[in-house]
């Protein structure tokens, strides 16, 4: 039996559910084994609702059992990137809080058969949703060197991405890479310098997992959906485990809290500046005592923000996603070099 020890449990629950919303509608976008969901349920009133989402069929089995014993719970088996659509099918268009505990669960890593771990032998799968999509082995069997390199570099921030990609393609020409230990072996024989305390395949496995599960695309969609759904005064709480995710969450919240920043170089009247749609941004890290009892908590970063009463801009919450926000900034830079000099510059 594989278990999951929830990270930053009290901090997340207090963050997502203030005392004045105990009757509300909440979303747990990453049910896992229900640690956060159960803690939230114990705080909520009998009239509240909790929609729990996960894309992993094993997590969904646990969620369905919970829903049997607690009528406040509704289960959705889908990617959290489909949150808007899934909730709309339930007739829900606004919520009182959303929590996301990103990445993989301990049961997914600890069960060798899921193919996430370079320490345990198993089929090279790595899909969180085992009912759809390409496995890691299927992808590695056909992707070009450049594509493999790009994924390992971008999502693993791995220095030896090109060498690893070439080694994978050379190896598969004679023997397909079908198991986790086969892939770990190919990477270990290519990356000879180890980072302290890290297996040489750590970065490559992280990168392929992010690619196979489209994790950053899903995160973009979930952030956009969350901001669209939150009622005034409602909170979002997001736990990230690596810098790629945390950067997106941080920049998204910052852009929504300071929408005027994208227009900073544009001469524009102060009264016309866009107003914040998120406020009270908070960052919470794990304490030493939590890390001592759960080493997987060591890289966790929880970010919490509160929805303001300001309406979303015409283009919607999407415009606060880091790449979109930077595009607006670039656009305004172009504009600002043209002549609108009668208007006041903001910065």
Nearest distance in Å: CB 150, ligand SAM: 21
Torsion angle defined by CA atoms of residues 210, 214, 219 and 224, in that order, rounded to the nearest 10 degrees: 160
81 binds ligand SAM (CB under 6 A): yes
Nearest distance in Å: CB 29, ligand SAM: 6
Nearest distance in Å: CB 140, ligand SAM: 21
**Gap between the Cα atoms of 78 and 310, Å rounded:** 30
- Out of 6, 74, 235, 240, the only residue in the binding site for ligand SAM (CB under 6 A) is 6
156 binds ligand SAM (CB under 6 A): no
Residue 116-135 contact track with ligand SAM, rule CB under 6 A, x = bound: ------------x-------
32 binds ligand SAM (CB under 6 A): yes
Nearest distance in Å: CB 232, ligand SAM: 26
77 binds ligand SAM (CB under 6 A): no
- Are the C-beta atoms of residues 97 and 235 closer than 8 Å to each other? yes
DSSP per-residue string spanning 174-195: HS---BHHHHHHHHHHH--SPP
Q: Which two tokens stand for residue 328?
A: 């607006």
Distance (Å) of CA 127 to CA 35, 115, 123, 304, 307: 22, 8, 11, 28, 33
- Out of 15, 24, 51, 79, the only residue in the binding site for ligand SAM (CB under 6 A) is 79
- Are the C-beta atoms of residues 23 and 45 closer than 8 Å to each other? yes
80 binds ligand SAM (CB under 6 A): yes
**Gap between the Cα atoms of 3 and 35, Å rounded:** 10
> Coil, strand, or helix at residue 135?
coil
Which residues are at the interface with ligand SAM (CB under 6 A)? 4, 6, 30, 32-36, 53-56, 59, 79-81, 101, 103, 105, 128, 218
């Amino acid at each position: 039996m594989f278990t999951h020890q929830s990270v930053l449990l009290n901090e997340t629950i207090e963050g997502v559910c203030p005392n004045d919303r105990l009757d509300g509608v909440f979303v747990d976008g990453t049910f896992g084994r229900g640690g956060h969901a159960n803690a939230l349920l114990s705080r909520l009133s009998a009239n509240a609702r909790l929609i729990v989402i996960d894309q992993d069929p094993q997590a969904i089995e646990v969620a369905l059992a919970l829903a049997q014993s607690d009528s406040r719970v509704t289960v959705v088996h889908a990617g959290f990137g489909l949150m808007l659509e899934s909730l709309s099918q339930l007739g829900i268009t606004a919520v009182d809080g959303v929590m996301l505990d990103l990445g993989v669960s301990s049961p997914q890593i600890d069960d060798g058969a899921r193919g996430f771990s370079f320490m345990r032998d198993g089929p090279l799968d790595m899909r969180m949703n085992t009912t759809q999509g390409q496995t890691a082995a299927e992808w590695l069997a056909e992707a070009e060197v450049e594509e493999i390199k790009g994924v390992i570099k971008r999502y693993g921030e791995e220095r030896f991405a090109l060498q690893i990609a070439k080694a994978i393609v050379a190896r598969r020409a004679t023997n397909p890479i079908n198991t986790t230990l086969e892939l770990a072996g190919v990477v270990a024989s290519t990356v000879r310098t180890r980072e302290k305390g890290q297996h040489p395949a750590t970065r490559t496995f992280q990168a392929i997992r992010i690619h196979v599960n489209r994790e950053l695309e899903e995160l973009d969609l979930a952030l956009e959906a969350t901001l669209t759904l939150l009622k005034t005064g409602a909170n979002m709480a997001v736990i990230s485990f690596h810098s790629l995710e945390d950067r997106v969450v941080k920049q998204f919240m910052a852009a929504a809290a300071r929408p005027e920043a994208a227009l900073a170089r544009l001469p524009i009247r102060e009264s016309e500046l866009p107003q914040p749609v998120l406020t009270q941004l908070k960052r919470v890290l794990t304490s030493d005592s939590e890390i001592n009892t759960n080493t997987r908590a060591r890289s966790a970063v929880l970010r919490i923000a509160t929805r303001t009463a300001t309406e979303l801009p015409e283009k919607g919450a999407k415009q606060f996603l880091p790449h979109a926000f930077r595009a607006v900034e670039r656009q305004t830079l172009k504009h600002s070099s043209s002549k609108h000099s009668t208007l006041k510059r903001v910065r």
